[in-house]
Structure 1
Amino acid sequence: MRLAIEILQLLVQSADSWLFEGSLAGLSDREWMALRFLARANRFSRTPTALASFLGTTRSVASQIAAVLESKGLMVRKPSAEDKRSIALCITSEGEKFLERDPINVLRDQLVTLELPDRSQLRDTLRRVLDGLDVAKRRHNADVCGRCMFLIESGEGKDRRFKCGLFRKSIAPKDTTLLCAYFEGRG
């Protein structure tokens, strides 16, 4: 129990790089979180509903956050290519440049200094902890497409193809590393 408390305290201390009061570089911590998510989300997850799910808030609050990002030129709303009744929230090139000033980059840069096996072990351990929290709260977290039970792979080498079984749409190989709000872990 003592070790668990020490780990928890360390996680809380690290959180000050992404949880803060007020604003940093003109965005609140929630707005930064939304911008980060949209920059790493796959095409199915760049919607107000998926953003709300990721942020753990209502669709109305997520739309307000998106409006702030849009007013700052960091994001635009576009008609969805998948469903003309929906909109896609897309990061602008200015938004991508703005992410270079993301306050969480300080933590990222410290993680990069860890040896690869240590980083992998930390990632896998944190993923198991988050999975347990998701089960306890009866929710699911976004994760990378490549780990999802809905990802269907076929072919080999240059003929390798990917498809989302949930949306029944093809996925580019590079998009299998993006976040999906509809992620379901493999058994």
Structure 2
Amino acid sequence: MTMTTLFDLFERLTSLMRIWHREHPLLADLQPVQLSALEYLARCNHYSDTPLAVTEYLGLTKGTVSQSLKVLEARGLIEKRQDLHDKRSVHLALTPAARELLAAVTPPDFLAMAAAEMGPDAVELERLLGELLRTVQRQVDVPGFGQCKTCRFHQHRDGEAFCGLTQEPLGRPSIELICREHQPRDEAA
């Protein structure tokens, strides 16, 4: 496979995702960036649910993300909550309406059907795409936003999950979520 072919495949799949988004009746009032923000907030942990983290994850300008978050808040899809320890910080939370919307539209039906048809090859494809993503992130030095339990800071103390970076215990749901502070174990220095 040539890099042009790989690029073409990603470009075509991205186009199909845009078409799906544009034609889905539940997404008619949402811009793609707004859906991406909701999807991110559904998967991130409490260290990563801030407007700045959304901006970093999406790789967009602060202004674009700020406007998108205002629209989502006005539509009742997210709520802003003041940080309990730092009154200057704000955390973002999905509302039940946002969770229902995401449950209804993700993953896209066409993608789920294709993966089911591929059978075991879909599992291998997911593994390979994950490795491609990690390699690209390492090479261009962008934040990893990886799953907490795969981070070099993830530890166990007294039988419980613990973050070595923040020095805080972690609840079970937290370790399954993605974190903006993630560093792969193999990069431990």
**TM exceeds 0.5?**
yes
Task: Specify the alignment match of 2:88 in structure 1.
Answer: 85
Give runs of aligned pairs for residues 4-43 of structure 1, distance below 5 A: 4-19=3-18, 24-43=27-46
Cα offsets for 1:132-156 (capped at 9, x unmatched): 222332212312111111111234x
Indicate conservation of the 8 Å contact 1:34/1:55, yes or no.
yes
Structure 2 residue 151 is matched with structure 1 residue 148: yes
Unaligned runs of 5+ in 2: none
1:182 aligns with 2:181: yes
Comparing 75-84 and 143-152, the one that deviates more: 75-84
What amino acid maps onto 2:36 in structure 1? Answer: M
Deviates more, 1:103-112 or 1:59-68: 103-112
CA–CA separation in structure 2 for the residues paired with 1:108 and 1:177: 23
* TM-score normalized by the length of structure 2: 0.83
**Counterpart of 1:77 in 2: which secondary structure?**
strand
2:47 maps to 1:48: no
**Please, what TM-score do these two structures have when normalized by structure 1?**
0.84
Identity of aligned residues (%): 25
Residue 137 (1) aligns with residue 117 (2): no
Check the 8 A contact 1:42/1:178 in 2, yes or no.
Answer: yes
| CA-CA distance at 1:79 after TM superposition | 0.9
Change (3 A) 1:72 1:154: same
What is the number of equivalent residue pairs in this alignment?
Answer: 181
Residues 101 and 22 from structure 1, CA distance in 2 versus in 1: closer, same or farther, beyond 3 angstroms?
A: closer
CA distance in 1, matches of 2:110, 2:176: 21
Pair 1:166-2:165 in alignment: yes
TM-fit CA distance, 1:175: 1.6
2: distance between equivalents of 1:46 and 1:170?
18
Of Structure 1 and Structure 2, the greater helix share is in 2
Q: CA deviation at 1:80?
A: 1.8
CA distance in 2, matches of 1:16, 1:55: 18
Q: Cα deviation per residue 1:101-142 (whole Å; 9 max; x = unaligned)?
A: 436522552365143x43432222112211222233221231
Structure 1's unaligned 5+ residue stretches are: none
Task: Point out the more displaced range, 8-17 or 27-36.
Answer: 8-17
2:63 aligned with 1:64: no
- Tell me the C-alpha RMSD between the 2 structures: 2.4
